[in-house]
């Protein structure tokens, strides 16, 4: 619904979104822009409003706001304001045009050379209930998909009023700006990347070592030394290059085929700033297309606003590399200088992605964030962070908060890129975060000492790292489902904690804690081990309900915060009551990332729930539905094109449940973990009833482990242990805990007392 004057246009896009335009020339933007793809986000008949209008004043009353505007006047604090219908602050929610607006932030362009935190750009989620998206300076995307400069100046602002319904807010934002495309399945596995002078033989040795150690990989990223870096001085910098270094890779086609045969997708690093110069293998074709003077070695200057240059760049440089076997490119643009008024990073992201889409390839790039709308060009490369605890501590917050601007597929340099210091414990914690982050890409600089190969660490750390890298591939069925849900429904893999308890001001302070899909809650550990207990401590908030530690099956009561303690091999990952989690049972055997032959379903008691596992081959889709209602499980498989493995095994693991039987099936019970398990082959339908949660939890083995490794007096350990064995009341046991000298041991044991009463 539009209200139009000579110089203004105000459009109601939904009950929550209003667009404000003002132009001295009376020209308005109807095309797509770098940020906005679709303005028909709500059917007109569903938009509720009333107006009061005179010759001078326009007032619009909507369910979420009241807009006041002095018609034909330039937008200003005096001429336009909006009262938003939320009472989250005592002093009201009036926004005057031009005022800064409070929001929960979005993300940033790069972490290059950042040690720790850095300011984030704005997002579209706010505790105040409304935010502003300014599209005034966006460039246009025309009907052919070309980015063109906006030919006139105008104000083009979107006011978004979702209150505290953040989930609806981000889903509407995706409708407005375009959904994030589905990633190829391989992108969700483990990536290997290192700035290193690999040869064909040394890279094969690397891959074979991963294979020999049963550590799965999905993506092989080959950094800049794949191309010539020793070039004649007259050509300048060697940072840009497109010609294979035949000293290192004498037969690129053979090498890339070998990687593909090993089940790996392949990416090459690009630094395109210096264009295409005369030493490149592609130069004769580029020069012919662009009519360059080859006698003087005239270079093809990088200019992505020039359609002919782009044509040469893709057809003569990129496509031949793809034909050799490259799957996608890492666009490492750092310069940031505008070209004809346009951001070259935006141009590179847009046209690289478009080129793949236009040719029917699965589109994927690795590149930096270039502002709102960048989520349409995944995956994000966050830059060259320092190898420090401060850098790790910032990344979970940055990753979850990026969802507030729709940028849901961050890829960090897991382990850090440069400077900093060696700390084996830090590497373990970074890998743990990487496994439970959107993209898990191990990376390091060209230093001899910063390699992230798991076997370059002491045996204990190596085993933990390897185990978590296997966990990442176990998670692929779960991850791919949310890959689809993000692309089709705007349901991100990672959401900040406040998305589910938005009215609870307490949860906003837990920056590093986030939902990982709909079933899991994650808090990466970003602090060092405490010497007295040999565990790290983090303060964690448990949302309302019940939560199960997926490692121990211990249950925690929600609606409270608690200091939790975890050893080096442990990471706080919790499943909600009722959670249903599909996992690949054989991630090592399935290194080629095919659809799993064996699916484990982790099922947690305590609430009704349902989960739909989405699997795809090409354009064909299968959905396996598992629902739990009133203690009864229902499993159905919808596989119309028969894409699933014919003898797929389903392994149902009922976690933290009492022992029960299922007629017609062999059921096993693990007393240590209180798991009930049964297996079956591709049932069309299955109903199981009788499982329920264990009411009284057994913390004995966990308590013993904590006491056994604690670096404290033996007498203190024995006093706690024997008093626990005497079945003292909670109050009596708490009084005993208070007598212990170690504050960390007190808190670690108190966590178990909390569990005992959950």
Sheet architecture: strand order including 514-516: 494-496, 514-516, 520-522, 573-576, 546-549, 555-557
Task: Output 387 or 662, whichever has higher pLDDT.
Answer: 387
Q: Is the dihedral of CA 21, 25, 29, 35 positive or negative?
A: negative
For the record, the structure tokens of 503 come out as 């009215």
- Containing 394, the helix (H) or strand (E) segment is helix 389-401
Instruction: For residue range 525-572, list pLDDT tens digits in order.
Output: 999 999 999 999 999 999 999 999 999 999 999 999 999 999 999 999
- Containing 284, the helix (H) or strand (E) segment is helix 283-290
pLDDT for 689? 85
Q: Quickly count: other Cβ atoms within 10 Å of residue 504's Cβ.
A: 15
pLDDT for 732? 67
Evaluate if residue 87 carries a pLDDT over 80. no
20 contact partners, CB below 8 Å, separation of at least 6: 8, 10, 75, 80, 97, 155, 156, 157, 158, 159
Evaluate if residue 73 carries a pLDDT over 90. yes
Cα–Cα distance, 524 to 526 (Å, whole number): 6
Three-class SS state of 691: coil
- The long-range contacts involving 290-298, CB below 8 angstroms and separated by at least 24 positions, are 297/234
Cα–Cα distance, 50 to 468 (Å, whole number): 56
Are 547 and 575 a contacting pair, CB within 8 Å?
Answer: yes
Cα–Cα distance, 193 to 147 (Å, whole number): 31
Instruction: For residue range 675-730, list pLDDT tens digits in order.
Output: 999 998 877 778 888 888 998 898 999 999 999 999 999 988 888 888 888 876 66
Q: Quickly count: other Cβ atoms within 10 Å of residue 63's Cβ.
A: 11
CA 591: distance to chain centroid? 22
Evaluate if residue 113 carries a pLDDT over 90. no
**DSSP assignment letter at 313:** I
For the record, the structure tokens of 360 come out as 């029917």
Which whole number is the average pLDDT over 40-56? 95
Average pLDDT, rounded, for the chain? 95
For the record, the structure tokens of 613 come out as 């596992």
Are 527 and 581 a contacting pair, CB within 8 Å?
Answer: no
Which whole number is the average pLDDT over 599-628? 96
Cα–Cα distance, 752 to 758 (Å, whole number): 10
Are 751 and 562 a contacting pair, CB within 8 Å?
Answer: yes
Evaluate if residue 46 carries a pLDDT over 80. yes
Instruction: For residue range 413-442, list pLDDT tens digits in order.
Output: 999 999 999 999 999 999 999 999 999 999
Which whole number is the average pLDDT over 392-416? 98
For the record, the structure tokens of 78 come out as 């005096």
Evaluate if residue 271 carries a pLDDT over 80. yes
Are 394 and 524 a contacting pair, CB within 8 Å?
Answer: no
**DSSP assignment letter at 374:** G
pLDDT for 336? 67
Evaluate if residue 593 carries a pLDDT over 80. no
Which whole number is the average pLDDT over 109-114? 92
Evaluate if residue 489 carries a pLDDT over 70. yes
Task: Output 180 or 339, whichever has higher pLDDT.
Answer: 180
Task: Output 692 or 403, whichever has higher pLDDT.
Answer: 403
Cα–Cα distance, 334 to 336 (Å, whole number): 6
Please list, residue by residue across 145-174, b when 16 or more beta carbons sit within 10 angstroms of its beta carbon and e when fewer do.
eebeebeeebbbbbbbbbbbebbebbbbbb
pLDDT for 741? 85
Cα–Cα distance, 475 to 582 (Å, whole number): 7
Q: What are φ and ψ of residue 440, in 5° steps?
A: -110, 100
Closest CA relative to residue 298, chosen from 280, 310, 319, 325: 280
Instruction: For residue range 381-392, list pLDDT tens digits in order.
Output: 999 999 999 999
pLDDT for 730? 64
For the record, the structure tokens of 755 come out as 């569990």
The confidence band for 736, taking pLDDT boundaries of 50, 70 and 90, is confident
The confidence band for 731, taking pLDDT boundaries of 50, 70 and 90, is low
Are 712 and 718 a contacting pair, CB within 8 Å?
Answer: no
For the record, the structure tokens of 97 come out as 């045009």
**DSSP assignment letter at 507:** G
The confidence band for 338, taking pLDDT boundaries of 50, 70 and 90, is confident
pLDDT for 42? 93
pLDDT for 90? 65
Are 498 and 166 a contacting pair, CB within 8 Å?
Answer: yes
Are 553 and 673 a contacting pair, CB within 8 Å?
Answer: yes
Evaluate if residue 88 carries a pLDDT over 90. no
Which whole number is the average pLDDT over 490-495? 98
Determine if residue 674 is left, alpha or beta; phi over 0 gives left, psi from -120 to 50 gives alpha, anything else beta.
left
Evaluate if residue 335 carries a pLDDT over 70. no
168 contact partners, CB below 8 Å, separation of at least 6: 16, 162
Evaluate if residue 738 carries a pLDDT over 90. no
Evaluate if residue 484 carries a pLDDT over 80. yes
Closest CA relative to residue 688, chosen from 670, 664, 655: 664
pLDDT for 728? 61
Nearest-Å Rg of the Cα atoms of the chain is: 28
Three-class SS state of 261: helix
Helix orientation angle between 714-725 and 700-709, rounded to the nearest 10 degrees: 170
Three-class SS state of 478: helix
Which whole number is the average pLDDT over 214-222? 97
Q: How many residues are present in the chain?
A: 758
Closest CA relative to residue 221, chosen from 236, 205, 203, 238: 203
Q: Quickly count: other Cβ atoms within 10 Å of residue 501's Cβ.
A: 17
Percent of the chain with pLDDT over 90: 87
């Amino acid at each position: 619904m539009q209200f139009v004057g000579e110089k203004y246009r105000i459009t109601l896009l939904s009950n929550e979104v209003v667009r404000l335009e003002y132009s001295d020339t009376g020209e308005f933007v109807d095309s797509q822009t770098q940020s906005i793809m679709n303005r028909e986000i709500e059917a007109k008949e569903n938009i509720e409003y009333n107006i009061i209008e005179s010759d001078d004043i326009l007032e619009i009353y909507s369910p979420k706001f009241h807009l006041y505007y002095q018609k034909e006047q330039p937008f200003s604090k005096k001429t336009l304001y909006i009262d938003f219908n939320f009472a989250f602050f005592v002093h009201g929610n009036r926004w005057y045009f031009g005022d800064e607006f409070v929001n929960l932030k979005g993300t940033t362009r790069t972490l290059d050379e950042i040690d720790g935190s850095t300011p984030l750009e704005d997002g579209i989620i706010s505790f105040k209930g409304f935010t502003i998206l300014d599209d005034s300076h966006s460039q246009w995307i025309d009907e052919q998909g070309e980015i063109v400069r906006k030919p006139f100046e105008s104000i083009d602002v979107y006011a978004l009023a979702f209150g505290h319904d953040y989930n609806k807010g981000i889903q509407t934002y995706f409708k407005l700006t375009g959904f994030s495309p589905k990633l190829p399945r391989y992108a969700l596995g483990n990536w290997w990347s290192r700035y290193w002078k690999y040869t064909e033989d040394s890279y094969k040795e690397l891959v074979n070592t991963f294979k020999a150690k049963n550590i799965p990989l999905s993506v092989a990223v080959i950094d800049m030394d794949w191309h010539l870096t020793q070039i004649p001085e007259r050509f300048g910098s060697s940072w840009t290059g497109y010609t294979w270094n035949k000293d290192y890779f004498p037969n690129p086609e053979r090498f890339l085929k070998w990687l593909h045969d090993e089940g790996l997708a392949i990416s090459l690093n690009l630094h395109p700033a210096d264009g295409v110069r005369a030493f490149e293998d592609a130069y004769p074709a580029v020069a012919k297309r662009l009519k360059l003077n080859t006698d003087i070695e005239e270079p093809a200057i990088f200019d992505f606003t020039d359609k002919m240059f782009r044509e040469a760049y893709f057809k003569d440089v990129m496509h031949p590399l793809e034909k050799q076997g490259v799957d996608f490119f890492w666009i490492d643009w750092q310069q940031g200088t505008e070209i004809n008024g346009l951001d070259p990073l935006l141009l590179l992201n847009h046209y690289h992605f478009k080129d793949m889409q236009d040719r029917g390839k699965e589109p994927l790039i690795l590149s930096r964030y270039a502002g709102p709308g960048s989520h349409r060009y995944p995956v994000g490369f966050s830059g060259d962070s320092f190898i420090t605890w401060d850098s790790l501590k910032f990344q979970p917050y940055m990753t979850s908060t990026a969802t507030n601007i729709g940028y849901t597929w961050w890829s960090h340099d897991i382990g850090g890129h440069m400077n900093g210091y060696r700390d084996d414990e830090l590497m373990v914690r970074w890998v743990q975060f990487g496994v439970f982050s959107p993209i898990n890409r191990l990376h390091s600089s060209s230093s001899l000492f910063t390699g992230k190969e798991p076997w370059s660490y002491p045996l204990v750390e190596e085993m933990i790292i390897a185990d978590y890298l296997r966990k990442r591939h176990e998670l692929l069925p779960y991850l791919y489902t949310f890959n689809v849900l993000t692309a089709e429904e705007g349901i991100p893999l990672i959401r900040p904690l406040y998305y589910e308890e938005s009215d609870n001001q307490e949860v906003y302070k837990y920056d590093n804690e986030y939902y990982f899909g709909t079933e899991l809650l994650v808090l990466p550990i970003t602090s060092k081990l405490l010497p007295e207990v040999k565990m790290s401590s983090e303060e964690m908030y448990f949302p309302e309900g019940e939560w199960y530690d997926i490692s121990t099956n211990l249950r925690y009561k929600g609606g409270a915060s608690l200091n939790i303690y975890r050893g080096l091999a442990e990471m706080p990952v919790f499943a909600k009551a009722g959670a249903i989690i599909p996992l690949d049972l054989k991630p090592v055997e399935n290194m080629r990332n095919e659809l799993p032959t064996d699916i484990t379903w982790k099922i947690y008691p305590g609430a009704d729930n349902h989960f739909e596992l989405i699997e795809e081959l090409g354009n064909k889709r299968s959905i396996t539905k598992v629902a739990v209602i009133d203690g009864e499980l229902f499993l159905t498989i919808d596989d119309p094109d028969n894409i699933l493995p014919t003898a797929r095994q389903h392994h149902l693991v009922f976690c933290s449940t009492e022992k029960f039987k299922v007629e017609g099936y062999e059921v096993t019970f693990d007393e240590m973990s209180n798991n009930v398990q049964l297996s079956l082959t591709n049932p069309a339908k299955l109903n199981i009833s009788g499982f329920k949660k264990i009411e009284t939890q057994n913390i004995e083995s966990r308590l013993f482990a904590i006491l056994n490794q604690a670096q404290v007096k033996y007498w203190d350990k024995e006093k706690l242990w024997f008093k626990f064995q005497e079945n003292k009341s909670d109050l009596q046991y708490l009084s005993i805990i208070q007598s212990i000298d170690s504050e960390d041991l007190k808190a670690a044991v108190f966590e178990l007392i909390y569990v005992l009463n959950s």
